Amino acid sequence: MSNHPVQTVGASGDKVKIVLAVLVAIAGVVGFYFLSDKATIVRIAALVGGLLIAIAIAWTSASGRDFVNFAKEAVRETKKVVWPTRKETLQMTAIVFGFVLVMALFLFGTDKLLEVVLYDLILGWKR
């Protein structure tokens, strides 16, 4: 018998927090456009304020905390990545360009061969 982790359904309070966070974020965006006759700084403050409040509300939910933990793990994993050197990057780029050139020539040749076979030999349409 295998032990599969069971994901439990969150409390309704968490769902309310997420919905409230989405509504506050939407309110911030709507406020940005609603205040079109005001100074740009006021419009930006409404947008950023709405988004920051939405993030704060979402952060207090279980889903928000799970997302923050996921983001931290993602950053930790990207730090483990061994990035290629400049020489390796240039070599791989040259290989890709070479392959693209060879494929372009192959497809061009195939197209011209099919054109000759179809139009000149089969249909007899000489140009």
Q: What is the pLDDT of residues 39-78, one digit of tens each?
A: 999 999 999 999 999 989 988 888 888 888 999 999 999 9
Structure tokens of 41?
């700084």
Q: Break the chain into its structural domains and give their ranges.
A: 12-79, 84-127
Residue 53 has a pLDDT of 93
What is the Cα–Cα distance from 67 to 58, expressed in whole angstroms?
A: 10
pTM above 0.75, yes or no: no
Give yes or no for residue 2 having a pLDDT over 80: no
pLDDT digits (tens, 9 = 90+) for 71-126: 999 999 999 999 899 999 999 999 999 999 999 999 999 999 999 898 888 887 76
What is the Cα–Cα distance from 12 to 18, expressed in whole angstroms?
A: 10
